[in-house]
Structure formats: structure tokens, C-alpha cells
Structure 1
């Protein structure tokens, strides 16, 4: 008797599992001050929400995410299971991944920026995510359930549909996107991190946005910084080593309140 796991099931579950496994990897380093962008003391003092609440919030969002993924795969699937028979070239897969990255980035930039500019949405929805002034890995998806649905889940669905990728390809794309999102919120600067080498949008870049001086800048997530640069919301920074260990992210330009 052969037991098969469908691509749709893996496409739903894999990103959820990857989130906690990859976050767990960073937990191993969070007590080492020499890799941190903020000290452990700053994390404890500045963050406005308990880790227990963060975990519960993330699990709620992942539940909603899984339900939407199941619905999406059901609506777009067929009885013939074409993904089992069709083969795509590396060029096709690369094109689909790049298209999905652009779509996800575009959707998240404008939705994210609007949630900051609309005072009602920021106060009642997006401000929950900014209770983590000092981000950490498994807090990456901590936000209001409505924000999680609009920003992450709908953005992911659009990326899947507009790129034309198969459920099998989505397993790898959304697992990769999940790892990237966790990495951006990890609050660490580890040597040899490939994300820091290949992407300008990284943990230091996003840390700027979580600070009071940077809430009107660096909206881009999770891959590129193009929209920030085009629309004037890009804040450059320097990364300097602290004498007592760790790093400090410093904005390059002077910020003026509107």
C-alpha cells in the first residue's frame, strides 16, 4: 500500500513547519550578544508584548493562512493533477519565482505603507506588529489577524496566481519566502549569511523600520528595496560594531517629522 502526500498538502504545511524550524535555528544565537543588533536587555525593556502572546498570534495567523491555501488549491486544482505530469524548464521556474517575488513585493510595499499612513489602520491594526520594537525571528508573523490576511495571505495568493506556478513549485517558493521573512526579523547579523550578501533588504534594513526614527521609511519586504528607492522612502544606514559586543544600526540621513 503506497502512501502519497499531495503537493497541495505540502504547499500548505511546509511553510508553516519551515517557519518554526528556521526560527528555532536563530533562537540558538539570540543569547550571544556579539551577533545582536540590539542587546537582550533592550529586547526585554522595549518590546511591548510577551513572547507567549506573540506565539499565540503567529499560530492564529498560520491557521488562517492554511485555510486560505487549502481553498486556493481546491479552486485552482483539477482532477487530472497536471502538476504530476507536466515538467517545467529551469527558465520557466526562474521566471515564475521572479514574477512571484515582484508581485509579493509590490503588494506588500503599498499595503504596508498605507497601513502606516492611515491613522486608523495603524492604530488599530498595524501597530500590533510594531509592539516588537526589537524584532526576533519567531515574531516575524506577529500582527493583527486582518493584517496577516490582507498583507501576507492575500499577497501570497496573488503571487501564486499571477506567476502561474504549480502547487509543487509553490512548496519551494513559499518556504523560501518564509525563511526570508524570518531572517529579516531575526534581529541578528550573522557572518556569512547569504541573505545579507544577495539582498539589500535584510535584518538591518528592516530593523531601521521598526525604530521610531524609521517608521516612515523602509517599507519594502521581503525581497527587494526597489519601491523604497523609487518612491523616496529608502533610508540608508551604517552598521557599526559596538565596543561591548553586537552591532548598531545607524541612519545615514537626518529624519524630519512631517
Structure 2
């Protein structure tokens, strides 16, 4: 039994909960104390961003509206089993892993295409890179077309390929949302499980947002396998800055 049972359908929760989780978890980072000694960029460096926070928030809300519309269509597809029985926990964990691999694969190749294709980068993906210094609220700040192709279609493929039920999908998409926000938070908090379990973390993705790293570290949001397999992985050291905070410094710049 889950807390929403009897109050809302799994399909409704699969549509709404990831949106709520996004703002709650991103809000958590913005309500933290300054924590300048844990930041990947100083607060002054935020001036390098090419878009204001109100514009970012409006862009995220637009994308979430599109996501919600697509989720409603996805969950409303005809099904012979209106009340699917939840499979054993081991099977649900397997479905989680399958969904993670499908999402990573889709997002890596679409994300890389948006960098390789000059038209797509200039008119679509460059919106996201206006955030040179990423922060939690900006995790889903994208051009609407990118949001549709990268996140919405990627999520739909993960759901369908894994065979998970709508109830399992509630947890998967909420988890993926938290991970995406964490990758853009710009803060390396000691003991953060997302930074210790996953090699693809805030520092890894921050490399990609810098000018020297735009051709590397395309993988998101979970693993780094495709970067390593296809030669776009940029290893780095996380070093303390003299003025406080951390900096992700590449071990070497590839030609």
C-alpha cells in the first residue's frame, strides 16, 4: 500500500508527483545556508549566466506542462489490465535498472546530437547552456523541443521498455527527477549518496557546462558508460579553491 492509495490513481500520481518533487528538492538546495565552502562556483560567478532566474522558472514550468500532458497520454493508453498487480520487489528493481539504461542511452545520443548539429545547438540546446553556472531550479531549463525529445520521449521509452506498472513509474520518475536536480545543484555536500554512488554527479555535469567541456561528459542522468565507450569522457579532479569551495579540474584536455 502507498500513501496515495484510495485518494488518487497511480496514473495521476505518476503525472503530478515528479513535478512536485522537482520544486521541493530544488527548493531544499536554495534554502540551504550559503555553503560557499562546498560550491563548485562562487556566488559571484553566477553573473556568467546568460538568463535570469525568473526566465528559468517560466521555462521550467512550460516544460513541465508539456511533460504532464504527455504523461496523461502515456498513462491513458488502452490496457487489458486496469489494475495491474505489482510484481515482486526484485522484478521492480530490475525494471528500474532497465529504465535507467534506456533513459541514459536515449539521452546520451540525443544530447550529443544537439551539440554536433550546429543548427540544433544554436536554436535549441544553447538555451540550456545559458546556465554556465548551473543551479538546482535550472535542471529542466531547456528549449521546449529539447524537453520534449530528451526528457519526455526518453521517459516514455524507459517506461514502455522496462514494462513497469504505473505505480512503479511513480517512484522511478520521482527518483530520476531528484537525480537530475542533484546533477545541476552546483554543491558537493559530503555524504550525498548521489555523489558517492553515481560517477555522474554535479561535478561531472558541471564540466560539461564549461567552455572547455562542451564536447565531453554528455551522459545523463545516471551512468557514464556511453562517454567512456565512445571517447567523450573527461576525467577530472575535485580540488579546493583558495577562496573556498571546489573546482572540477580536468586531468587532461583531449584533442
Cα deviation per residue 1:109-156 (whole Å; 9 max; x = unaligned)? 000000000000000000000000000001000010000000000000
2:83 counterpart residue number: 82
Distance in structure 1 (CA, Å) of the matches to 2:6 and 2:216: 49
- Which of residues 23, 28, 41 in structure 2 aligns to 1:25? 28
**Partner SS, residue 250 of structure 1:** strand
TM-score (norm 2): 0.96
**How many equivalent pairs are there?**
251
**Partner SS, residue 192 of structure 1:** coil
* Shift of residue 32, structure 1, vs aligned partner: 2.3
State whether residues 213 and 255 of structure 1, in contact with CA within 8 Å, keep that contact through their aligned partners in structure 2: no
Given the alignment of the two structures, is residue 148 of structure 1 paired with residue 139 of structure 2, yes or no? no
Larger displacement relative to structure 2 (27-36 or 5-14): 27-36
TM-score (norm 1): 0.95
Distance in structure 1 (CA, Å) of the matches to 2:248 and 2:32: 19
* Shift of residue 3, structure 1, vs aligned partner: 5.5
Structure 1 spans left out of the alignment, 5+ residues: none
Structure 2 spans left out of the alignment, 5+ residues: none
Distance in structure 1 (CA, Å) of the matches to 2:101 and 2:49: 31
* Shift of residue 159, structure 1, vs aligned partner: 0.1
**Partner SS, residue 237 of structure 2:** strand
Give the superposed CA RMSD.
Answer: 1.3
1:46 counterpart residue number: 48
Cα deviation per residue 1:11-43 (whole Å; 9 max; x = unaligned)? 000000000000011112373211110000001
2:206 counterpart residue number: 207
- Which of residues 9, 16, 20 in structure 1 aligns to 2:19? 16
